[in-house]
Amino acid sequence: MLKKLLGIAPQQEADGSYAPSRLALKLGTVDKSDFDNPSYTKYQGKRSKILVIFTEEKNMKMKNGKLFSTGNHPIEALLPMLHLRNAGFDFEIATPTGKPVVFEMWAFPEKDSHVNNIYKQLKSQLEKPLSLADFISSSFHDVDAYAAVFIPGGHGAMIGIPEDKNVGKILNWAHENELFTISLCHGPGAFLATTLDDHPFLYEGYEMAVFPDSVDKQTPMIGYLPGHMPWELSEVLKKLGAKVVNKKSDDTVCRDRKLITGASPLASNNLGKLAAKTLLAELN
């Protein structure tokens, strides 16, 4: 009751899961992003496609058994996509089994016209995405049409995707064919899929920006999470040989070879700009 009065109690949803508390939403979300809409000379080549792997999962079970209402973070997904679209790239949207994309709608920037517009433009694809198996069977042979694979963040990226063999196949396909891989925040959880079936970690020795475990450990105190995380993403990546370059949930972005990463929602705009400029410079 005291937590409710103070606004730090996670808010229960109809399915029994918990969205962040009123205080956490006030501190951790915005109604307008920092998208600065730079102009780009649009890409005109044939490698214009970007595969975007979204989650189809909504609820993450915490250590205490409570379910966190999650999905992909809308700003972490749509801001980089705004930059990439404005730079001349198109998207193929996929989820593991082809179920609709799930967003953390409690984090949607309602007053942001740019984010709202691209969300509306992509809505039909978000509601009826490809499955990863369909993408592999239909598009692996057409690698010359692709520039990158993008995996948005949000805690939902840590559910199912790290254990999905098709994700591992796609990341290896991108790596072997020198496509870029782009991700941020909790999205790098997908990289764990490259270790399935005892394969070596694809990104051993790579520098990358990832959401810090230290922040995830603190957020239950203000009701952002309804309990402590089931596992620690940064720590797992470090043990596999990744070099995490950030200690804060800030706007850090990082490029190492064909891997482009960002630290948190605050990095979404910088990540989009870095990805767009890098692809234009490399592909033109």
The burial of 255, by beta-carbon neighbours within 10 Å (0-12 exposed, 13-18 middle, 19 or more buried), is given as: middle
| CB count in 10 Å sphere of residue 146 | 22
| CB count in 10 Å sphere of residue 83 | 25
Q: Which residue has the higher pLDDT, 1 or 237?
A: 237
Q: How far apart are CA 266 and CA 249, in angstroms?
A: 7
* pLDDT of 4 higher than 80: no
Segment holding 77, helix H or strand E: helix 74-86
Predicted local confidence at residue 67, as pLDDT? 98
* pLDDT of 1 higher than 60: no
For 119-169, the pLDDT digits (tens) are: 999 999 999 999 999 999 999 999 999 999 999 999 999 999 999 999 999
Mean pLDDT of 61-79: 98
Give me the helix-helix angle, 74-86 and 113-127, nearest 10°.
100
Mean pLDDT of 78-107: 98
* pLDDT of 5 higher than 80: no
* pLDDT of 6 higher than 90: no
Tokens of 89: 């790239």
For 19-32, the pLDDT digits (tens) are: 999 999 999 999 99
Predicted local confidence at residue 160, as pLDDT? 97
For 157-213, the pLDDT digits (tens) are: 999 999 999 999 999 999 999 999 999 999 999 999 999 999 999 999 999 999 999
Q: How confident is the model at residue 64 (pLDDT cuts 50, 70, 90)?
A: very high
| CB count in 10 Å sphere of residue 141 | 9
Predicted local confidence at residue 7, as pLDDT? 72
Residue 11's SS3 state is: strand
Tokens of 109: 């920037």
For 254-269, the pLDDT digits (tens) are: 999 999 999 999 999 9
* Strand-pair partners of 180: 148
- The predicted model scores a pTM of 0.96
- Calculate the average pLDDT of the chain: 96
- Decide if 185 is catalytic: yes
- Domains and their CATH numbers in the chain: 41-61+78-283 (3.40.50.880)
Predicted local confidence at residue 12, as pLDDT? 96
Segment holding 238, helix H or strand E: helix 233-239
CA dihedral 212, 217, 222, 225 (to 10 degrees): 90
* pLDDT of 104 higher than 80: yes
| CB count in 10 Å sphere of residue 64 | 11
Tokens of 168: 């591992």
Sign of the torsion angle spanned by Cα atoms 224, 128, 283, 205: positive
Mean pLDDT of 237-243: 98
Q: Which of 24, 77, 185, 193 is catalytic?
A: 185
For 212-229, the pLDDT digits (tens) are: 999 999 999 999 999 999
Predicted local confidence at residue 284, as pLDDT? 84
